[in-house]
Structures are given as C-alpha cells and as structure tokens.
Amino acid sequence: MRTIKILGTGCAKCKQTEAAVRDVLDKEGIVADVIKVEDIQQIMAYNILSTPAVVVDEVVKIKGKVPSAQEILAALS
Amino acid sequence: MFDWLQSFADWLIYQVIGIGTESRLGVALSFFVYDVLKILILLFLITVLMGIVNAYFPVERLRDFLNKRKLYGLEYFFASFFGAITPFCSCSSVPLFIGFVQGGIPLGVTFAFLITSPLVNEIALAIFLGMFGIKFTLIYAITGILLGMLGGMVLGKLNLERFLSDWVQQLIQNKNKVQEGFESEKAPFLKRLPHITQEAWGIVKSIVLYVIIGIAIGAFMHGYVPENFFEEYLGDGQWWTVPLAVILAVPLYANAAGIIPVIQVMVVKGIPVGTAIAFMMATIGLSIPEGTLLKKVMSMKLIAIFFGTVAFFIILSGFIFNMVFTTL
C-alpha cells in the first residue's frame, strides 16, 4: 500500500491539503495510508522550505501550496 | 484608471437598487461597492504578477543564490527584497527559517527575509494601492524592505546562534548533508499561466471576506466618527503615539486585508500617517501567534530580541513618516 504524508504545522492550508488528498483518494477509489505530519523536526527531514507539502512513498511531490485534484493525481501516478 | 468602476458602482446603487443620490446611505453604499471591487481587482492582478515572479524564482533558488555567491553585504538587500515579493504564509515561516539556516545562510540574512516577508506582501500592496495610491504604496514598500535589511543587519551582528533551540544548532553543524539544489519546473510560460491565475484566484477568494469586513468597518467609521476625532487625542506633535500604537498592535493579529481599510479612515480622521503605518506594520509584522510558532526553533530570549529589534525599527519608521508627511 502506498503511503502519503501531508507535511504541515497545522495551519489552514495544511488542513485544506489533507482534505483535498483524501477527496481525490475517495473519488478514484485509491487505497493509501494518509499520515499527517505536524512535528517540525520530522517535516524538516524532507528538506523543504515551504509547507504544506505532499510526500508520496517518501518522495516530496508537492510543496508550498494547496494542490488541485489534477496535481494530486499526477503526484500519485 | 478606475473611473469606469465608479460609474458602475453609481449605476448599480442609484439606478438598479434605486437609492437616491442625495441619501447618505446611497453615497456610502456606492463608495463601498467601488472600494471592494477596486481592491479585489488590484488584488487579483498583483497576486498574478507575484505568482509569475515566484514561479521563476522560488525560495529554493533564492537560498542557493544567497548561499553560493559572495554578495558583500548586498545579501541583506536580496533577502529582504525577495521576502517582499514572495507570497507569505505565517505557517511557512518556521520551515523557511530552518531551511535557510540549515542551508548555511547567516542568521541575520534569514531574519531580514523573515521581517520583510509578512510586512510587504501582495495582499498588503494591493490594498495599499487601492486605498492610498501609488506614491504611498511605493514609500511603504521601500520602508518595509529597508526595515528588513536594517533589522537583519543588527540581528546578524549580535551572534544569536547560541539562542537557537538545540536541535536547530545541531542542524547547522551538519549542514553539509543538505544542498542538493532544487529541480526547477521547465514548463513553458503559457502552460503555467492558467495555474498561476488559478492560485491567485484562490488567494483572492480566501480573503474576500476580510476585505469586505475591513471596508465595511471603514465605511461605518467614515460616516459616524466625527472629523478630526482622533486628532484631538492622538494628533500632531504627540510623539508617544507611535510607540503606543506599536505596543497596542502586538497582541492584535489581523491580516492586512482587514486592517488597511480601517487605517485609511483613521488617517482621514486625523491620525498621523506614521502612527497609523507603525500600527499597521506592528499588527501584521509582530504577532503573538507568530511568536509561538517561532518558539519551536528559538529560545524565548531570541524571540524577545527579534521582536524588540523589529519593534524598534517600526517605531523609527513611524517617526520618519510623521516627519515627512506633516504636510499631508
């Protein structure tokens, strides 16, 4: 199973991102493990400068913005 | 430039809704519609512009740029300048701070970025432009950038690294493990534009409510607060109004969208420009919620020094504004 991590310190944009990702997974019928990472030390391990970020199987796919449905799909493919 | 918009607002209120041109309510509503539309249009345009700049010059590139070149002091300018044109979300300030420091950028330069980033951003600029005009907006932007530079330089001189949290200090020590550069998107401009406008639209949508509330409060004050009301208490020559405004502003956490329309009315009603701008800068540049975010990476002492330095420069620019604009 794929693991999707949402990195963000808990601001509004990060919550929007999590909701957007879950939405896409539901609609497409994709089963994946969605983990919200809020700890700043863990977040920084991914070497990003801006949150929210979406990490698919330990690869940073999206950072610094709330992604659109297409972007999420692209990140998953 | 916006005459057509005024005509539209007048037409909407006086013709379509049918409120008389003589009534106080009609005049206020027409102003309100005009202001809201004007600011939303400016907001959208400036956000698109910033989005384009940012698409070609992301923070990752700035970090590499600051890190790899010898800039002989100009790095403070670049950090501050790019802080101004980078879209800012306070939730990104901590990752950004660590990312910069970890990438080997001096603490002072990082602070320069952190100071300017919330002060001068696309939202503040668009609303400033809509409410105060171009001259004022430029002065505001330049002051914000200078403030970040000076603040960063002062903080850089103080050798504050020891006040960072332990784990951040460790990160600095083994900083060589990062630095793999960044992968830039290579998509052609026309392909990226729809996405940029989409994002700009998202930003505008997310603050529409604040703009409307801010302008509504402004419009209300316009009609009901007597002319020169503030002047009596806070007017000319009262030097202490500037530090007072800054102190009052720190616990307030308002965004630029809501605060600027209110500030504009205060200026019209007699608050000195410098005092008003100092108040606004302190509201959006120094906030307790931001302080608590920074607590994860800095000791309380460092946060206090950081806030103190920024507050000092905000007060200083308030005095300068008041001196320059006594004639306005």
Summarised one tens digit per residue, pLDDT across range B90-104 is 667 778 888 888 778
Type of residue numbered B306: F
The verdict on a CB contact (< 8 Å) between B96 and A10 is: no
The verdict on a CB contact (< 8 Å) between B92 and A51 is: yes
Confidence of residue B293 (pLDDT cuts 50, 70, 90): confident
3-class state of residue B3 by DSSP: helix
Question: How high is the ipTM of this complex?
Answer: 0.72
Q: Is residue B1 part of a domain?
A: no
Q: What is the pLDDT of residue B90?
A: 63
3-class state of residue B272 by DSSP: coil
Q: Which residues contact A37 (CB under 8 A, 6 or more apart)?
A: A5, A6, A7, A8, A43
Q: Measuring CA to CA, how many Å separate B57 from each of A2, A16, B158?
A: 32, 25, 30
Type of residue numbered B215: I
The encoded tokens of residue B51 equal: 């989005």
Chain B environment of A48 (Cβ under 8 Å): 95, 99
Token pair 């607590």: residue: B295
Token pair 């534009």: residue: B193
Q: Is residue B145 part of a domain?
A: yes
The verdict on a CB contact (< 8 Å) between A11 and B171 is: no
- The residue of chain B nearest to residue A39, with distances taken between CA atoms, is B296
Sign of the CA dihedral running B18, B20, B21, B26: negative
Q: Is residue B12 part of a domain?
A: no
B90 reaches A (C-beta below 8 A): yes
CA-based nearest distance B317→chain A, Å: 30
Q: What is the pLDDT of residue B94?
A: 78
Helix or strand holding residue B192 (H, E): helix B189-224
Mean pLDDT of B169-189: 60
Examine residue A52 and say whether the peptide bond preceding it is cis (omega within 30 degrees of 0): yes
Catalytic residues of A: 11, 14
The encoded tokens of residue B62 equal: 């700035």
The verdict on a CB contact (< 8 Å) between B293 and A13 is: no
Q: What is the pLDDT of residue B267?
A: 81
Give the tens place of pLDDT for each residue, B146-171. Answer: 999 999 999 988 888 888 888 778 77
Is B268 a residue whose pLDDT tops 50? Answer: yes
Determine the length of chain B: 328
Measured CA to CA, the distance from residue A14 to residue B147 in angstroms comes to 30
Token pair 């009603």: residue: B269
Choose the weakest-confidence range: B40-49, B216-225, B231-240, B291-300.
B231-240
Q: Kindly report the backbone phi and psi dihedral angles of residue B51, in degrees, each rounded to the nearest multiple of 5, phi listed first.
A: -60, -40
The verdict on a CB contact (< 8 Å) between A13 and B296 is: no
Tell me how far the alpha carbon of residue A68 is from its chain's centroid.
11
When scoring A40, A63, A66 by the number of chain B Cβ atoms within 10 A, the one with the most, hence best to mutate, is A40
The encoded tokens of residue B153 equal: 């330089």
Give the tens place of pLDDT for each residue, B1-26. Answer: 677 888 887 788 777 777 776 777 77
Domain ranges, residue B286:
18-173+188-327
The verdict on a CB contact (< 8 Å) between A40 and B98 is: yes
Mean pLDDT of B204-233: 76
Chain B window 291-320: which residues touch A at a Cβ cutoff of 8 Å?
Answer: 293, 296-297
Q: Is residue B268 part of a domain?
A: yes
Q: Is residue B237 part of a domain?
A: yes
Give the DSSP letter of residue B55: H
DSSP string, A14-34: HHHHHHHHHHHHHHHT--EEE
Measured CA to CA, the distance from residue B328 to residue B322 in angstroms comes to 10
Residue B89 has its nearest CB partner, among A13, A43, A44, at A13
3-class state of residue B295 by DSSP: coil
Mean pLDDT of B34-38: 86
Is B296 a residue whose pLDDT tops 90? Answer: no
Q: What is the pLDDT of residue A40?
A: 79
How many domains, in total, are found in chain B?
1
Residue A57: which of A33, A74, A36, A31 has the closest Cα? A33
Choose the weakest-confidence range: A17-31, B47-61, B171-185, B286-300.
B171-185
Mean pLDDT of A19-38: 87
Q: What is the pLDDT of residue B179?
A: 47
B24 reaches A (C-beta below 8 A): no
Q: Is residue B72 part of a domain?
A: yes
Between residues B153 and B326, which one has the greater pLDDT?
Answer: B153
Q: Is residue B5 part of a domain?
A: no
Q: What is the pLDDT of residue B149?
A: 93
When scoring B50, B66, B88, B89 by the number of chain A Cβ atoms within 10 A, the one with the most, hence best to mutate, is B89
What predicted TM-score, i.e. pTM, was given to this entire model?
0.79
Is B108 a residue whose pLDDT tops 70? Answer: yes
Contact B47, B204 (CB under 8 A): yes
Is B181 a residue whose pLDDT tops 50? Answer: no
Mean pLDDT of B196-212: 82
Chain A environment of B296 (Cβ under 8 Å): 40
Q: Measuring CA to CA, how many Å separate B91 from each of B25, B205, B222?
A: 40, 19, 34
Q: From the CB of residue B8, how many other CB atoms can be counted at a distance below 10 Å? A: 15
Q: Is residue B6 part of a domain?
A: no
The verdict on a CB contact (< 8 Å) between A9 and B199 is: no
Beta strands at A53-56 and A32-37: parallel, antiparallel or unpaired? unpaired
B22 reaches A (C-beta below 8 A): no
